[in-house]
Amino acid sequence: MLNYRHLYYFWMVAKEGGFARAADRLQMAVQTISAQVRELEKSLGHQLLKPSGRGVALTEAGQAAYARAEAIFQLGECITQEVREAASSPVTRLSVGLSDGISKLAAHALLEPVLAHPQLRLVCHEGEFDELLSELALHQLDVVLAGQAAPRNPNQRLSSERMARTAVQWYGPASLVKKSARDRFPQSLQELPVLLPTVHSPLRTTLDGWFHDLGLRPRVVGEFEDSALLAVFAARGLGVFPVSQLGAQDVGLVRGLRLLGDSPDIHEEVHAIWSRRGQHHPLVRQMVAAAHRGGAPQ
């Protein structure tokens, strides 16, 4: 193991340009510092300093050691300030996993009740469903929002609750959402460029079945895992896209989108999944309670 006290003395000698100046700075005996630096050189197996006039200079090996020491101790100097700031202004951290395929716009709507928390530090991770559940079981996440409930696995000890089940609406740019397209919806989907969630999304499976039942063969020009990104591309004229009514609350944040039509037979579900530890998190409880008060949109 590298002795960081020895490394620190070496760093100070290199910064000050000599043992005497480093000793004055550290208020220690020159002999003590010199002995500690020799111990470091012995442990590394290379000479780090060489005489230079009345002081010392770095050898090639010393330059490499000094560069690393500089980075290490500069970071170390940040610790005191960061700890002080953390202690003086405590934060409430909420780590949320967003499963691939879930509408990010809907996720934002469900998280909205906790976003006004004055000490909130929100950390969002996106990933595949199984990977997020593993992170949740290891307490690396507080809650996961997904399009499906937690699987029955006694080893993981996870709980879940459906937060929302909302019908789907279709939006698109004004250049595509004409009156004729609205009047002939959903048949007009065969004539318009269509943007869809990827196959990772449970909603995509439902949409494909809906297209089949109606005998529709839409011209799919883009597939996105991120519903917010999908909305941005749609607003730039790439095509029309589906979004749950819950997520549609945020569609207004993207300028230029208009409602094409409703698909009341198609629904998107969002489930909150948490571990035993997560159920005691105040913001997780607040989020679930807000969904209950709102009637968990149906």
State whether 140 and 288 are in the same domain: yes
pLDDT band for position 298 (50/70/90)? very low
pTM above 0.85, yes or no: no
Instruction: Say whether pLDDT at 100 is over 70.
Output: yes
Mean pLDDT, residues 60-75 taken together: 92
State whether 136 and 276 are in the same domain: yes
Give the pLDDT score at 46: 95
State whether 135 and 250 are in the same domain: no
Q: How many domains does the chain have?
A: 3
State whether 55 and 201 are in the same domain: no
Give the pLDDT score at 89: 67
Of the given ranges (111-125, 130-144, 244-258), which has the lowest mean pLDDT? 244-258
Instruction: Say whether pLDDT at 262 is over 80.
Output: yes
Quote the domain boundaries for residue 117.
92-164+270-295
pLDDT tens readout for residues 147-176: 888 888 766 678 888 988 889 999 999 999
State whether 67 and 98 are in the same domain: no
Using a pLDDT cut of 90, give the percent of the chain over it. Answer: 48
Mean pLDDT, residues 266-289 taken together: 86
Domain ends where: 44, 62, 87? Answer: 87
Instruction: Say whether pLDDT at 67 is over 70.
Output: yes
Match 């929100």 to its residue by tokens: 122
Give the pLDDT score at 276: 77
Using a pLDDT cut of 70, give the percent of the chain over it. Answer: 96
What CATH number corresponds to the domain at position 121?
Answer: 3.40.190.10
Contacts of 22 (CB under 8 A, 6+ apart): 9, 12, 13, 15, 16, 33
State whether 173 and 46 are in the same domain: no
Instruction: Say whether pLDDT at 10 is over 90.
Output: yes
Instruction: Say whether pLDDT at 224 is over 70.
Output: yes
- The closest alpha carbon to 271, from 106, 127, 156, 131, belongs to 106
State whether 56 and 107 are in the same domain: no
State whether 65 and 124 are in the same domain: no
What CATH number corresponds to the domain at position 62?
Answer: 1.10.10.10
Domain ends where: 35, 52, 87? Answer: 87
State whether 284 and 260 are in the same domain: no
pLDDT band for position 253 (50/70/90)? low
Give the pLDDT score at 296: 47
State whether 81 and 225 are in the same domain: no
Give the pLDDT score at 134: 87
State whether 256 and 226 are in the same domain: yes
Higher pLDDT, 127 or 38: 38
Instruction: Say whether pLDDT at 49 is over 90.
Output: yes
Half-sphere exposure of 294 (CA within 13 A, CB side): 20
Mean per-residue pLDDT of the chain: 87
Which range of 9-13, 152-156, 284-288, 289-293 scores highest in mean pLDDT? It is: 9-13
State whether 153 and 291 are in the same domain: yes
Does residue 160 sit in helix, strand or coil? Answer: strand
Give the pLDDT score at 294: 65
CB 119 within 8 A of CB 91: yes
Domain ends where: 70, 87, 104? Answer: 87
Q: Produce one character per residue of 113-140: b if its CB has 16 or more CB atoms within 10 Å, e if not.
A: bbeeeeeeeeeeeebebeebbebbbeee
